[in-house]
Amino acid sequence: MEQSIFSLLPPLLAILMVILTRRVLLSLGTGIIVSALLLGKGNVIQSLSYLWNAVKGIFVEDGGLNSWNICILSFLFLLGAITALINIAGGSRAFGEWAMTKVKSRAGAQVLTAIFGIIIFIDDYFNALAVGQVARPITDRHRVSRAKLAYLIDSTSAPICVISPISSWGAFIIGIIGTVLATHNITDVSAFTAFLKIIPMNLYVWATLGLVFIIALRNVDFGSMKTHENRTMVTGIPYDPKKEIPGEIKEDLPSSENGTVGDLIWPIVALFAGTIAAIVWSGLRESESGATAMDIFGNADVASALIYGGVLGLIVAIILFFRQTAKNSSMISQLLFKGIRVGMKSMLPAVMILIFAWAIITLIEELGTGVYLGNIVANSQLNISFLPVIMFAVAGLMAFATGTSWGSFGILLPIAGQIVAATDISMMLPALAAVLAGSVFGDHCSPISDTTILSSTGAGCNHMDHVITQLPYALTSALIAGIGFIVMGLTDNGLLGLATVALLLAIFALTTKKNKAPQKTVMEENP
């Protein structure tokens, strides 16, 4: 069953079920069981062994703890606790009220969110969760749906990280590019220089970012996103209260009337500063003297840094909590522990989805789904002019089916290098750029992708609402990028491909209609 067409069955079944049923855990669980049965060739005992190893591997690796996964899950719980304490201190309310006086429109709230996403480029996990915490009070006050917020976060996390050399993504990609260049004896360009040259060729990134600002500035909505936006503008409720919302505080917690903007800002600043400082510190500790910034970020322990930043943010949130509640409550300690408990509990849906997603990704990797798709490309007779768009499409399918852009990078970048080396070496950089672009596109769309899960968590959006509403936007960006890759391949000119993307974005902006606010909207009321 491994590395065969049957290896596509589990991811496609899970994705189809999750779209049809909207029950994420049931769908992922079905995919996990089918994967284990295929690996065990129908033998129940062997299948249970594969299943156990996949689950165990989430927490235990090479005889020790899987520090990356444990740190990510712990950071989610810390973030939930910080959010609850900020709410109790009145920080979210105060920040929302302040934002209404500074950010005057729904378009402004969305543009500001996108700018936050671009600025925080260090790591996609950190980006998705940190931007959500800062932007949510602003977008809620301006009646922007959580589905739209999740789209803005997701479209400025991985797309920015994949073109940033000073990020966890950049270090990983440059390492693979270096191996590809060395394998084919390409010495006239370094891996770092090649990465920089690839940036303008990563057409999906530029199509996605361009679309984000067009959507925000012109208030263009289509598909199910339009339904979410219209409902939010009418009711003022940014999400469907009947659905499970990860990170949303459902239990009643008091909120101080004396909260200040600082009660939200300072815990987030501490979280951000602590995380960046820990990243730099851990990178310096593992790097040799004279290391570059890229080396430092490449050697950094990002997962542990998130814990250090989270703990520092929690400490600051607790200090501000005591300052705000000391005058108003005689049961401060009980309220503190209740807030932490409720905040951590609010993250359980996201944690469970993430664990299930990691398990199915592990089993899919053992089935060789990505290798099977890669071999199809390697063994086919391709017209070299269409190689960029074909690699873009295959990378998108692979990342969508496997839920991991990094896994797609690792498999397809070397395959693209092999194909180009055997045909036309001048197409090396466009082909590599197309793999990076397609991998981000597929990851962007996949309901089993960890970055998609964390974007919905950061926004406080139902996971499947995020997947369904974002899909038409991602497909639009992919279509624009795909046409650009065709032009790039036919002309052997990356700038013409980028110009094509810019032209198509301009046509989209000029031909799409604005989403007019519903007549029954109550925007003028204070939500």
Q: In this predicted model, what pLDDT tens digit does every residue of 46-83 receive, in sequence order?
A: 999 999 998 998 898 877 888 878 887 888 788 888 88
Does residue 331 surpass a pLDDT of 70?
no
- On average, the pLDDT of the chain sits at 83
Residue 88 · residue 106 · CB < 8 Å? no
Distance in angstroms (rounded) separating the CA atoms of residues 250 and 266: 24
Give the percent of the chain with pLDDT over 90.
Answer: 22
Distance in angstroms (rounded) separating the CA atoms of residues 362 and 498: 36
Segment holding 276, helix H or strand E: helix 262-286
Distance in angstroms (rounded) separating the CA atoms of residues 1 and 449: 23
Distance in angstroms (rounded) separating the CA atoms of residues 238 and 462: 11
Distance in angstroms (rounded) separating the CA atoms of residues 393 and 519: 41
User: What is the CB-side half-sphere exposure of residue 113 using CA atoms within 13 A?
Assistant: 36
Q: In this predicted model, what pLDDT tens digit does every residue of 370-382 receive, in sequence order?
A: 677 767 766 666 6
pLDDT at 525: 42
DSSP 166: S
DSSP 199: G
Helix (H, G, I), strand (E, B) or coil at 333: helix
Block residue for tokens 């915490």 = 133
Q: In this predicted model, what pLDDT tens digit does every residue of 99-141 receive, in sequence order?
A: 777 888 888 999 989 988 887 766 677 777 778 878 888 898 8
pLDDT at 117: 85
pLDDT at 48: 93
- DSSP for 439-480, written as a single string: HHHHHHH-TT-HHHHHHHHHHT--HHHHHHHHHHHHHHHHHH
Angle at 191 between CA 188 and CA 194, to 5 degrees: 75
Give strand pairing partners of 64: 61
453 burial type by CB count under 10 A (0-12 exposed, 13-18 middle, 19+ buried): buried
Give just the sign of the alpha carbon dihedral 316, 321, 326, 330: negative
pLDDT confidence bin for 498, thresholds 50/70/90: very high
Does residue 328 surpass a pLDDT of 60?
no
Q: Which two tokens stand for residue 78?
A: 């810390």
Q: In this predicted model, what pLDDT tens digit does every residue of 447-469 receive, in sequence order?
A: 888 888 888 888 888 888 999 99
Distance in angstroms (rounded) separating the CA atoms of residues 473 and 212: 9
Q: Which two tokens stand for residue 27?
A: 């769908």
Strands of 11-79 (E only): list them.
60-61, 64-65
pLDDT confidence bin for 362, thresholds 50/70/90: confident
Distance in angstroms (rounded) separating the CA atoms of residues 99 and 139: 9
**How many C-beta atoms lie closer than 10 Å to residue 519's C-beta?**
6
